[in-house]
Structure 1
Amino acid sequence: MKLVSDFWRREKGWFLFLIFMTIFTTAANLSFPYILKEIIDGIQKQLSGRKILEYVVILLFLGLARSILSTLLPFLRGKTNERFAWLCRARVFSFILNKNEKFFNQFPPGDVIERLEQDLNDLSWFSCSGIFRAIEGGFTLLLGLVILLRINAFLTLLALLPLSLAGGFWSRIGGLVLGTYRRWREKISEVCNYLESSLSGVKLLKAFRKEGDTIAKFLPILQARISGAVQFAKSEAKVSLVFRATAETAILIILCFGGFLVIKNRLTIGEFVAFMAYIGLLVQPFWDLGNFFVTQRRGKVAEKRIRDLAEFPEVIKRQEGERCEIRGFQFVNVEFAYDSKPVLSGVSLEIKEGMKVGIAGPVGSGKTTIAKLLLRLLEPKSGEIRVITDKGILSLMEIDLSHLRSHFGYCPQEPSLFSDTLKNNILFGREELAERLNQAIEISGLVGEIKAMPGGVDSLIGERGIKLSGGQKERVAIARAILSSPRILILDDATASLDAEIEKEVVANLLKAVETLILITHRLSLLSLCDVVYVLEGGKVEEKGKPEELIAQRGLYWRLYERQLLKERLKEDEAV
């Protein structure tokens, strides 16, 4: 288990300290019945009151030590469990943030959350508590057996027989318990995925009156999860029943044979009491040792699910690269495919510093993919993306990734907003840019709306910005993108929800504020502002030129233009 072994390799000192505490606690627990035996037998042998009093004082100190250690040791283990979970969760989360779209297509958010919560909790419990409970159980069994054999070897062997059978039973049946556990965890992931997808699209569900259908589909998934939990609980209950029965059997054997030995004066009353106490102390270690092998298997399953996230192959390499002044980009015969589905084929285009570049085309023609390739959110399958810099023309792969992205402001098709204040959604953790907040708000045309909000920029906008309209969400995203005064701004259909007047105002502000603008849009009124427009169809650049030139050619751009004019006329007629 690599995650666990790596953790303890870094925490060797703490590991040795817990070993010491475990041995000390075990010694205190096992000493208590032995001192009790000495007191009872001393009373029978009529030892001096002073000697018995010494034993009583020792017993009191041992009882106090047991009470403290029985609280302290689980606390230290629990603290270590949480430290392991914290380190592991932070590490895996940092890996996840560097993954590309393929990762998120394979691992839905609900599944990721389930793995980072429940699976990691299971693994973190095993990382310390599971291991050290087994170590404590091993020490207890070893020292306890030495003491029991010294008291009476014959009675020890009789008492250990049912306990050994129980340990063997648990190690054999543990695999079946693990199977039910694994199926239960898979069902929980399915529930999380369904809830996440349903709640994120709750407005759409209500709009189409699909609440009833959604609940109807959810109930079988929930029932399967409950059934899995019940099966797992049943399997654990059966194992627990076996161990309880075993402990009772061992005690019954001691009562019968031990009582007989006491009557025959082959065992003192003190030894008999101590023997009963020791057997009670040895039941839990047998369980812990058997449970270790099962929780280890469970931990391996959990670790695999977690490592599947962390070790998912990185498509975007983050090696150190050139940090230079970027003056433009060139796509040279670039091709890209999502798995086996081609998206871009032989795309060549150029974006120069200071230009306003439009990218148009039907849905699915690859427009958004071009933006993601520029940002290196994706890598081309073939061809090359070149960067025009002050050091000459370099490959995009040669530019330092963080330096590259620092040149861009990006507004995706769907604004991603968080359950926080309007201000924090725009700042996005960049507190050093707070002085530019008002300027970004003004450029994005949000001044009037913010003044109307009771809390102003400190107003909470709700989960995913639920308190904002579609147009307000888009303008918050635009304000976020331009806050850092990027050299290049990419608007990927980022004004689709704005009405014509507000859109005109916002775009006019952006044209003044941004040096290089890349407009990915269906709106030809925006494309008419561009220096050059690339028209895509089927993943290929079908047309390129100034907007007025493309209209004069009466090709694809012209057909899109005519179609949009027709839609606008129909809307006007409907309004009349």
Structure 2
Amino acid sequence: MSIFIKLGWYFKQEWKIYLVGVFGLILTALLAIIPPRIIGVLVDAIHNGKLNASHLMILLIVLTAVAFAQYGSRYMWRTAIWGEAAKLEKVLRNRLFWHYTQMDQAFFQRYRTGDLMAHATNDLSAIQRVAGGGILQFADSMITGGTTLIAMVSLIDWRLTIIAVIPFPLLAVMARYMGAKIHIAFRESQAAFSRLNNKAEESITGIKVIKGLGQQKEDMADFDQQVAQTININRRVNRLDSLFDPMTTMIISLSYVITIVYGGYLVTTGQITIGSLVSFVSYLAMMIWPMFAVGMLFNTLERGNASYDRVMDLLQQRSGVIDDPNGVDQTPRGGIDYDVKQFNYPGDRRPALRDVQFKVSAGKTLGLVGKVGSGKSTILRLILRQFDNYEGSIKFGGIDIRHYKMDALIPAIGYVPQDTFLFSDSIRENIRFARPQATQEQVEQAAEKSDLYNQIKGMPDGYDTAVGEEGISLSGGQRQRLAIARALLINPELLILDDALSAVDAETETQILANLRAERQGKTTIIAAHRLSSVMNADEILVIDDGQIVERGNHEELMKLGGWYQEMFERQELATSVKGGRKNG
């Protein structure tokens, strides 16, 4: 029953509607007492030869009136209880989704997508069943069972009632014993579902890689193994679950045997009438649902309890990036003053950045280059406030970025990551994702700046072309340029390109960079790249190695140093000239 206590905050909030639902259940239970008694009266009238047309008509009218009244009372409790259960699911679903949007990068590194989806679907459905079916099973088993017992005692015979319900306490003993086992088993079942969900999501997302490396059979074998494990765990849940109904049936059957034997004795000795025995058997049949409801109740509660704990564990996770409610809410303008003495990723003792200092004035461009894993993207992640746990400060327009409200800071930054993500929508909607009110003219201007305009015009559906899931219908270069157009559409104070030109050819790269220099006068740009031609015109270039700045200067200065930059630039120039020679040859 602890799940009812855990959901007490919601029941207190919606107590009036639940009170209407419980009233409907009480009314339904009281009305249900009438038909069996009328049937008993009818049987006695037939047995005694006293039934006539007028008497029969009165009984039929009463039965019809009761049927209509039960229809109304059932409608009352169903709309109230099931409606509030759906509302609870909506509340929790919104809360969980909002929680996901507020969490930091570390959270999504700890939890895989499939697991988060399982919490948002399977677990919330189990909780919703507590607020709907659980309340119904609890209240109806008490109300229907209670009113039926009262009717059996007051309208038939108290001795027969006591004898008939002797087996009922066995059900409570069974439910208490099985409830704890089901709670543990169902928690394991939900965890297994999360793992299977993760595997399915990962395989579907990576289907190109799986097929490209010919690993379909191996991946299928791995999937089959996880399915088998999940089925085995669920079989244990089902075995425990299936013990409820047979035990309830045995208890009810035992009550029927007692009723027939002892009730027959009372009839033969003249202590009750045959009609009363018929009514009593009808009332005993009405006790079947409360008994089954008790079994279903413990099942529902244990499942909901396990799911509620899983969801609450997730909601209690706190982001390492805290949005200051009293922070600066004006749009940041100006340059970047970056001074990070040390930064470690959560759980990693080895510093990812050490003594990184630079300034980028408004209207200037900074280039970041270095080997894979050198720390370029980490520098950018801190500007985007994906992590706040660093020593030092990062100022945007003279104010520490941690002092800005997130709603003021993030819209001022146009970010194009290494891995471009596109939504399963049209090209137009993907470009204006961050600015839904943008006009067609503004969308086209952004496409021109990213050198995508002519290619879109050549497509049969133009800007209405569907890009497919994650932009599968577009080439890598088209996806990158679409993402650049999306960032440029908001005209950000700070534009960050994190290796965002790696999939375009040299000519396209040159055109895009020329467009950026022309369009972004007075605004700041940071470009991280592996291809040095992307940053050679930057006002300052930083060479990053092992989280530190090892070289800095403009292109000419770095070439004179004769270090890593010069060596890599000459290698790339040689590779480009060799490719050009092959094409010409």
Aligned-pair distance for 1:573?
A: 6.9
User: Under a length normalisation based on structure 2, what TM-score does the superposition of the two structures give?
Assistant: 0.93
* Partner deviation per Cα, 1:145-184 (whole Å, 9 max, x = no partner): 2222222222212221223212321221122233332222
Question: Which amino acid is the alignment partner of residue 337 of structure 1?
Answer: N
Which one is further off, 225-234 or 561-570? 561-570
1:533–1:545 CA contact under 8 A, matched in 2: yes
Q: How does 1:443-522 map to 2 (within 5 A)?
A: 443-514=449-520, 515-522=523-530
Which residue number corresponds to residue 444 of structure 2?
438
1:44 shift after superposition: 4.6
Distance 2:434 2:572 in 1: 39
Instruction: Give the match's secondary structure for 1:437.
Output: helix
Asked if the contact 1:373/1:380 (under 8 Å) is kept, the reply is: no
Q: Within 2, Cα distance between the matches of 1:90 and 1:429?
A: 21
Residue of structure 2 in register with 1:528 after alignment: 536
Q: Secondary structure at the match of 2:337?
A: strand
Please report how far the alpha carbon of residue 95 of structure 1 lies from its aligned counterpart in structure 2 after TM superposition: 1.2
Q: Does 1:328 align with 2:335?
A: yes
- What's the secondary structure of 1:265's corresponding residue? coil
Task: State the distance in 1 between where 2:582 and 2:347 align.
Answer: 43
CA distance in 2, matches of 1:335, 1:127: 49
Q: Percent of aligned pairs with the same residue?
A: 28
Look up the SS of the partner of 2:42 in the other structure.
helix
Which residue, 225, 237, 246 being the options, matches 1:241? 246
| Aligned counterparts, 1:51-450, within 5 A | 51-67=55-71, 69-70=73-74, 73-150=77-154, 151-320=156-325, 321-324=327-330, 325-341=332-348, 342-388=351-397, 393-428=398-433, 430-435=435-440, 436-450=442-456
For residues 504-559 of structure 1, the C-alpha deviation after alignment (integer angstroms, 9 at most, x for no partner) is 11221122222221101111111111001121111112222112111211223223
Cα offset, 1:55, TM superposition: 3.1
User: Aligned partners of 2:245 and 2:208: how far apart in 1?
Assistant: 47
Which whole-Å CA distance do the structure 2 matches of 1:213 and 1:288 have between them?
46
CA contact (8 A) 1:356 1:532 kept: yes
Measured in 2, the distance between the counterparts of 1:205 and 1:548 equals 45
Specify whether residues 371 and 35 from structure 1 end up closer, same or farther in structure 2 by C-alpha distance, changes over 3 A only.
same
The 1:570–1:251 alpha-carbon spacing in structure 2 relative to 1, beyond 3 Å, is farther
Match of 1:553 among 561, 570, 573: 561
TM-superposed CA distance for 1:110, in Å, is 0.6
Cα distance change, pair 553–204 in 1 and its aligned pair in 2 (3 A): same
Greater shift, 202-211 or 238-247, is seen at 238-247
SS class of match (2:321): coil
C-alpha contact (below 8 Å) 2:183/2:305 kept by paired residues: no
Q: Is the 8 A contact 1:171 1:291 kept in 2?
A: no
CA distance in 1, matches of 2:244, 2:412: 61
Go from structure 1 to structure 2 and tell me whether the alpha carbon gap of 1:132 and 1:123 turns closer, same or farther (over 3 Å shift): same
Q: Which moved more, 1:54-63 or 1:438-447?
A: 54-63
Superposition RMSD in Å: 2.1
The farther-off stretch of 206-215 and 429-438 is: 429-438
Q: Give the counterpart letter for 2:250 in structure 1.
A: A
Equivalent AA in structure 1 for residue 158 of structure 2: A
CA-CA distance at 1:358 after TM superposition: 0.7
Deviates more, 1:558-567 or 1:424-433: 558-567
SS at structure 1 position matched to 2:418? coil
- Once residues 413 and 74 of structure 1 are traced to their aligned partners in structure 2, the CA distance between those partners, rounded to angstroms, is 52
Q: Which moved more, 1:14-23 or 1:29-38?
A: 29-38
Q: Which moved more, 1:373-382 or 1:30-39?
A: 30-39
Aligned residue number for residue 14 of structure 2: 11
Match of 1:540 in 2: 548
The Cα of 1:50 is off from its aligned counterpart by 4.2
Query: Contact 2:434–2:486 at 8 Å: present in 1 too?
Result: no
Q: 1:239 and 1:133, CA in 2 relative to 1: closer, same or farther beyond 3 A?
A: closer
> In 2, distance between residues paired with 1:507 and 1:210?
40
Distance in 1 of aligned mates of 2:355 and 2:24? 67
CA contact (8 A) 2:449 2:485 kept: yes
Code of the aligned partner of 1:517: T
Deviation at 1:47, TM superposition (A): 7.0
Note closer, same or farther for the CA distance 1:276–1:451 as it changes in structure 2 (3 Å cut): same
| Distance in 1 between residues matched to 2:531 and 2:136, nearest whole Å | 65
Is the partner of 2:367 in helix, strand or coil? strand
Q: Secondary structure at the match of 1:312?
A: coil
C-alpha contact (below 8 Å) 2:164/2:256 kept by paired residues: yes
Q: Secondary structure at the match of 1:216?
A: helix
Q: 473-482 or 452-461: which moved more?
A: 452-461
Larger displacement relative to structure 2 (216-225 or 509-518): 509-518
Structure 1 512/118 Cα, relative in aligned 2: closer, same or farther at 3 Å?
A: same
Say if 1:48 and 1:194 are closer, same or farther in 2 by CA, change over 3 A. same
Please state whether the residue corresponding to 2:256 is helix, strand or coil. helix
- Asked if structure 2 preserves the Cα contact closer than 8 Å seen for 1:168 and 1:290, the reply is no
Provide TM-score, normalisation by structure 1: 0.94
Q: Could you say what secondary structure the match of 2:389 adopts? A: coil
Where 1:316 maps in the other structure, the secondary structure is: coil
Change (3 A) 1:91 1:247: same
Q: List per-residue Cα deviations over 1:287-323 (Å, max 9, x = no partner).
A: 3234434422321211121122322112111223113
Per the TM alignment, residue 571 of structure 1 is displaced from its structure 2 partner at its CA by: 4.7
The Cα shift of 1:62 comes to 1.3
Whether the aligned pair in 2 keeps the contact of 1:43 and 1:52 (CA below 8 Å) is no
Q: Work out the CA distance in 2 between the residues paired with 1:152 and 1:524.
A: 96
**Structure 1 gap ranges (5+):** none
The one-letter code matched in structure 1 to 2:556 is E
CA contact (8 A) 2:186 2:237 kept: yes
CA drift of 1:398 comes to 1.4
1:23 aligns with 2:26: yes
Task: State the shift of 1:39 in Å.
Answer: 3.2
Q: Structure 1: which amino acid aligns with 2:539?
A: D
- Decide whether the 8 Å contact of 2:432 with 2:486 is kept in 1: yes
Offset, 1:245: 2.1
> Which moves more between the two structures, 109-118 or 379-388?
379-388
> What amino acid maps onto 2:425 in structure 1?
D
Q: Is the 8 A contact 1:334 1:385 kept in 2?
A: no
Distance verdict in 2 for CA 1:354–1:162, change over 3 Å: same
The alignment covers a number of residue pairs equal to: 572
Cα deviation for residue 252 of structure 1 reads: 2.1
Contact 2:248–2:295 under 8 Å retained in 1: no
